[in-house]
Amino acid sequence: MNILERYHAMEYGPAPEARNEADAWLAGRDFSKALFIGGAWKAAGGGKTFDTSEPSSGKLLAKVSDANAADIDAAVAAAAKALPKWSASSGYQRAKVLYAIGRAMQRHQRLFAVLETIDNGKPIRESRDIDVPLAIRHFIHHAGWAQALDRDFPGQKGVGVVGQIIPWNFPLLMLAWKIAPALAAGCTVVLKPAEFTPLTAILFAEICERAGVPKGVVNIMQGGPDAGAAIVNHPGIQKIAFTGSSEVGKIIRKATAGSGKKLSLELGGKSAFIVFEDADLDSAVEGLVDGIWFNQGQVCCAGSRLLVQEGIADALIAKVKTRMSRLRVGSPLDKNTDIGPLVDLTQLDRVKGLIAEGARQGAVCWQPDATLPSSGYYHLPTLATGVSPANILAQEEVFGPVLATMTFRNTEEAIELANNTRYGLAASVWSENVNLALHVAPQLKAGVVWVNGTNMFDAACGFGGYRESGFGREGGREGMFEYLAAKLPLGPIIKPATSSVQPVEQADGVAIDRTAKLFIGGKQVRPDGNYSLAVATAKGKLAGEVGLGSRKDIRDAVSAARACKSWPEATAYNRSQVLYYLAENLSGRSEEFAARLTELTGANAKAARDEVELSVERLFLYAGLADKFEGRVHQPPARAVTLALHEPVGVVGIVAPDNQPLLGFISLVAPALAMGNTVVAVPSERYPLLATDLYQVIEYSDVPAGAVNIVTGRTAELAGVLAKHDDVDGLWLVADADTCAKAEAESIGNLKRVWSGNGRSLDWASEEAAGDVFLRRAIEVKNVWVPYGD
């Protein structure tokens, strides 16, 4: 046999990672006392434990403490006790602790990696080279944010005690994503790992002991769904951060409705992997391997939908099959393994069931000819072709090594297929034409877009989704805001509007028609139900009537807002010009609006003039900021830049307050418009004539038809309709507490972004009620990763 023949005959031999240190750690710990509360290790109050097993063999690893509600109470109490001192500590002091955690993790990173692989089943190459180093990076990166907090986030303070619930697919990395920014912000933490993968969180708690984390600042609570529910519902927690399924995210959104808790959700995905005909196909195939078979496809942003241009589809699929046949399925501790086991038998059964249903719906499922290990929860990589857009494999998150393939003819069809999902977490675009890639990226409804790459993450770059992939961001500057709160100038508690019809005395004089219409799609229209609502002056006389808007009117207004493409597609400079013009025209009718304010609210002439003038000033403010509240460019430690683009949320429903009715209305509508959103606004129920007078100004201020729609009527009823409408992307409401709570609970249909005053009004004349605080709510931050170099 010559050298060439020997070369071709060579096969990979086993290259197992030693596990003796991890086994010694497992043998030396009492897992019946695995709750880390107030700096001490404790058993669960009820004495219960749960089993954690090794996915590669099914063998028991440990019996771990299972926390109950009383244990969660103890952990929250410990976090609350530690909060005042920790939040009052200097940024430098917190930075030192975060840095110490990162350095201590570095000293034990091999143990972390092996434990992660044993407990989760992911290949050791992934845990060793990706998960653990990136977790360490998060703590060291956020040490810098801790020290820069006062400079970079003026007026912002840590939100308080934070409850965090993380999944099993990236146990250590998700822990780092959650805990690092919380500690940097001055918050204290109660974190629950997934019951499938508790081990690295326990080791992390030991690291906290060694790194000098003050007692009670970090509390690690092992447990199942009951422990998670106790965290979500605990009145002593000010924020919930959750990563997991969209179904559970909706349950948490509903459970926290009306509680005033801050909420961030990083949920499921069905990410598109788009390959254009000019792409480097070999590079795309390697990216696809990382996109869908990384961590056995158990990744929320897995590129599970391959969209390939028709002209290259056959060639690419052939290359994909060849590459799949060379993927090594086996022991996750073998350094040559590409695909390890799924995390548990229940997950394996779920993946098999979805593949069977996808095949029943017409997909052709192909797997390489390979032998699976005799024990463990293994599944072969699977390629599904002939997949229709409605097939379950194209719509549902499989969370396994399954790739669904579809073809497209042109760019527009690729974008349409990519956006044909209720999710919006990530996407990957492959083209040698960077102009094409950067043309497509902003049109994808996804929070992260990778150009000629996939599954790139960094602590400096935000990560999070649109739509039912959740809201909020993790990492970078955007992620820090999730653990901070600005002190808003709260006004008095809002009382619910009375449902009874109040008698209104007829005004002196005769008018042909005192009924103001709705404003939908740039036109004045009568309400669908042909009912009206009387509006009284401050003296109880009839000032006029407005249309009593209904569900149908809201539906028409949302349709008009969605159809208005010219406003979100306009340049920021053009939007600023229109808002300036709107302010100019309002100023020209200032005496008229001041008189209307006096007539309706009883304000004296000076106060009325001041409110109108401040309304004009507020329009000027947002006109000026329209082209200045911009994104950023992040420079991760890779040959890439990340463009953090500010994009409009979409259609935003706004329920405006009774107090300062003109200023409050403009203070909500103007920032939404400035960022390119279209608006469906419900004005003050008590003083709606100010908004109907304003639409007369809107009509001749070059505002495109449908950009602003005004539906008058009952606040509580219309707020509920907006909350339930799945084509409304965001909802801001200032109303009584019950209306706010119901709207938050009813928003779960599409997990729209909801901000409410939680039953309190604001002082709209204050500087704190203007500027960045609402501009941040008016945008989604999309991170586009653009590689460079040869």
Positions annotated as catalytic residues are: 266, 300
DSSP 32: G
| Token pair for 230 | 């106790």
Residue 52 bridge partners (DSSP): 62
Cβ contact 103:213 at 8 Å: no
Centre a 10 Å sphere on the Cβ of residue 788 and count the other Cβ atoms it contains. Answer: 9
Which is nearest to 298 in space by CA: 366, 376, 377, 373?
377
Cβ contact 365:398 at 8 Å: no
Cβ contact 737:570 at 8 Å: no
H or E element at residue 533: strand 532-536
H or E element at residue 345: helix 345-360
| Three-state SS at 546 | strand
Reduced DSSP (H G I as helix, E B as strand, rest coil) percent helix, strand, coil of the chain, to 5 = 45, 20, 35
The number of C-alpha atoms within 13 Å of 161 and in the hemisphere containing its C-beta is 22
Which is nearest to 690 in space by CA: 719, 674, 667?
667
Angstrom distance (rounded) from CA 447 to CA 645: 10
Which is nearest to 621 in space by CA: 667, 573, 653, 657?
667
Measuring CA to CA, how many Å separate 20 from each of 16, 111, 131, 332, 337? 12, 10, 21, 15, 19
DSSP 744-777: HHHGGGTT-EEEE-TTEEE-TTSGGGSTHHHHGG
Beta-strand pair 188-192/218-220: parallel
First CA to last CA distance, the chain: 39
